[in-house]
Amino acid sequence: MTTAAPVAGPGTWTLVVADRIHTLAGPPVEALVLFDDRVAAVGDPRELHERFRLDRTIEVDGVLVPGFNDAHAHPSMTAENLLHVNCSPEVATDEDVLVRLLREEAEAVDEGQWVVGSRYDHTKTTGGRVVDREFLDRAVPDHPVLLTHVAAHWGVLNSAGLAAAGLADASTDPPGGVLGRNASGGLNGVVYEQALFDISYPSLARGRTAVPPSTPAARLRGLARAQQLFHAAGITSMVDALCGPDDVALLSEAARTGQLTLRVAMLVAFPHYDRIAALGLRSGFGDERLRLLGVKAFVDGACAGGNCLVDEPFEGTDDHGMQTMDDADLRDLVERVTGDGVVLAVHANGDRAIRKLLDAHERARASGAPHRRHRIEHCSLVDADIVGRIRALGLVVVPFGSYARFHGDKLVGYYGRDRLERMFAHRTLLDAGIPVAGSSDYPCGPYEPLAAITSCAERRALDGTAIGLSQRISVHEAFGLYTTGAAYAAGEEHVKGTLAPGRLADFVELGRDPFLVPPGEIVDIPVRSTWIGGRLVHAAP
């Protein structure tokens, strides 16, 4: 970046000049004219100079593309996670480091307070073996500990954690959840789905969580750090795919005080739908910074957690995974929310889970539910029957963008190579004319869109293993997932996704032209600066 004039007041005309600008709405250009926070015109810099009475000029050396839009991630969860210990495989590189991180956190928190670690990946940190309560007891005996798996659908507690959560060997599984047990029937510390949500996910818990949420002031600090990470990767918009009341309050307070730089659309967790319905709120309520998108629910477990609901059992087992909402509840929820005309986004990974969701949608549609852009979150494993039914219903799908690359190693073990040809089926879905959006599901996968674009175009795990090569898409299509596709999935294609006149001036300056390098190198392209509404929110040092 060479020069950037200070932000001007309302009514400002700005010329943005770059080496090349991919508007994704036509051929590349070299300049944009902005009026305040929107694109007013695109074209040749000299010609635009003559046409407009400009107040300022921004010149950048790099290549501009529309800002990246992550159609499903968890910024408010990230705000909380960043206040605790990061057990990502990049940090917790092995078992000893994991123990050290947990012990350091135990020393940092007050006596008897929770030690909470997130993004634990047993395949990368503990050699494929899931740690248990005894392991965590040895690491940290005198604080309650919760270590959450990277896929965020299960976690592990130590003995003090089990006690603090009110769990004992005689406890029974909650509806939609499972308490892991050892060979003699005692609790092994692992808690799945609702059993985990009740302990640490205020948005989904049936009562107060045993792990107390951080204070609003602390969470605002966490959110600021989360936004810095996202902006540094070129992200300008995100769907927060699981909001409870605390999260709505966090994001609203950030917006009110000018601290919400990211544009966020919220999916509110289904247990809170009564409140939305009682207030008469509808999808789209809010503004271009923070708005209500719809309602979020779940049918099954996690794809990279190895517990989604599949027709064929996981490789080498007779395990078909977990259904987390029973058929009758799912039917009722789909009928009610879609009947109200509110956007419903349902997490369904496995083919069996997706079929159950489609059954419910078909039934609701037959009974007169109006057409809306309802979404299938993840929609990881498909076949021709599923694809045909999705198309007939006009649903939008939001598959994982980076899982082939990031989780590829463990996916082969869970699903086998053949089934991976039907997973994160970008090629099949796009060819069928189904609207597809790009998503990270961060913290469940890495948030960097450029890494996801490489993943979608290459379909290779980090070690080079092929992960369903038949589902490769072009770099142009992969860009579409994170721009136009994500905008459509949130009902915002009239303001986002391209840099055409009338769209928001959300753009990213890249160090190289992503359309001129091999797909495998896109992941390494530096993000030089990120702009939201014509305002600089990130500049590389």
Residue 68's nearest CA partner among 262, 238, 240, 235 is 235
Task: Please tell me the number of Cα atoms within 13 Å of 315 on its side-chain side.
Answer: 12
Amino acid at 104: E
Residue 119 Cα distances to 46, 77, 363, angstroms: 50, 12, 37
Query: Would you tell me how many other CB atoms lie within 10 Å of the CB of residue 392?
Result: 12
The CA distance from 133 to 135, in Å, is: 5
Q: Which of 241, 255, 504, 510 binds Zn ion (CB under 5 A)?
A: 241
Residue 411 in contact with Zn ion, rule: CB under 5 A: no
Residue 247 in contact with Zn ion, rule: CB under 5 A: no
Residue 300 in contact with Zn ion, rule: CB under 5 A: no
Amino acid at 46: R
Q: For the CB of residue 439, give the shortest distance to Zn ion in the complex, in Å.
A: 8
CB 267 within 8 A of CB 345: yes
Structure tokens at 463: 């070690």
* Residue 28, SS3 per DSSP: coil
Q: For the CB of residue 103, give the shortest distance to Zn ion in the complex, in Å.
A: 30
Residue 415's nearest CA partner among 266, 346, 312, 335 is 312
Q: For Zn ion, which is the closer residue by CB, 24 or 241?
A: 241
Q: For the CB of residue 296, give the shortest distance to Zn ion in the complex, in Å.
A: 8
The CA distance from 111 to 108, in Å, is: 9
Q: Which stretch binds Zn ion (CB under 5 A): 143-151, 236-244, 255-263, 483-491?
A: 236-244
Q: For Zn ion, which is the closer residue by CB, 148 or 158?
A: 148
Q: For the CB of residue 267, give the shortest distance to Zn ion in the complex, in Å.
A: 9
Q: Which stretch binds Zn ion (CB under 5 A): 140-148, 233-241, 367-375, 505-513?
A: 233-241
What residues contact residue 161 under an 8 Å CB cut-off, 6+ apart?
A: 114, 133, 136, 144, 145, 146, 189, 199, 210
Q: For Zn ion, which is the closer residue by CB, 198 or 441?
A: 441
Q: Which stretch binds Zn ion (CB under 5 A): 30-38, 54-62, 413-421, 439-447?
A: 439-447
Structure tokens at 489: 């999935």
Q: Which stretch binds Zn ion (CB under 5 A): 15-23, 26-34, 176-184, 441-449?
A: 441-449
Q: For the CB of residue 176, give the shortest distance to Zn ion in the complex, in Å.
A: 16
The H or E element spanning position 361 is helix 351-366
Residue 267's nearest CA partner among 345, 371, 193 is 345
* CA-CA-CA-CA torsion sign (379, 385, 388, 392): negative
Residue 80 in contact with Zn ion, rule: CB under 5 A: no
Q: For the CB of residue 241, give the shortest distance to Zn ion in the complex, in Å.
A: 4
Q: For Zn ion, which is the closer residue by CB, 441 or 458?
A: 441
Residue 240 in contact with Zn ion, rule: CB under 5 A: no
Q: How many residues of this chain bind Zn ion (CB under 5 A)?
A: 2
Q: For Zn ion, which is the closer residue by CB, 236 or 439?
A: 439
Q: Which stretch binds Zn ion (CB under 5 A): 50-58, 115-123, 260-268, 436-444?
A: 436-444
Residue 441 in contact with Zn ion, rule: CB under 5 A: yes
Q: Which stretch binds Zn ion (CB under 5 A): 79-87, 177-185, 237-245, 351-359?
A: 237-245
What are the residues binding Zn ion (CB under 5 A)?
241, 441
